[in-house]
Chain A
Amino acid sequence: MHKYILRRVLLLIPVMLGVSFVVFTIMFFTPGDPAKIMLGERAPAEEVALLRTQMGLDDPFHIQFFNFVKNAVQGDLGRSLVTKRPVAAEIWSRFPATLQLSAAAVLIAILMGIPIGIISATKQYSAFDMISMVIALLGVSMPNFWQGMMMILLFSITFRVLPSSGYGTLGHLIMPAATIGTSAAAVITRMTRSSMLEVVRQDYIRTARAKGLSERVVINRHALKNALIPIVTVIGLQFGSLLGGAVLTESIFSWPGVGRFMVDAIRTKDYPSVQGGVLMLALTFSIVNLAVDILYAYIDPRIKAQYK
Chain B
Amino acid sequence: MEQQEAKALGLLAEYETPQALMAAAEKVRDGGYKRWDTHTPFPVHGIDDAMGIQPTILPWIVLGAGATGTLTALLLQWYTNGVDYPFLISGKPLFSWVPAFPVTFELTVLFAGITTLLGMLALNRLPRLHNPLFDVKRFARATQDRFFLALDATDPLFEDSSARALLEGSGATAVEDVPDVPTNENIPSWMWQVAIVLVFATFVPLGLIAASYNSTSTTPPFHIVGDMDWQESYRYGEEVPFFDNGQAMRGALPGTVAVGELEEDDAFYRGMDDMGNWLAVAPVEVSKSVLERGRERYNIYCLPCHGESGNGKGIVHERALALDTSGWLIPRDLTMDSIVTQPDGQIYDTITNGFNYDAETGTGNMAPYAAQIRPEDRWAIVLYVRALQRAANASIEDVPADKRSAL
Q: Do A and B bind each other?
A: no
Which A residues are closer than 8 A to B by beta carbons? none
Residues of B within 8 A of A (CB): none
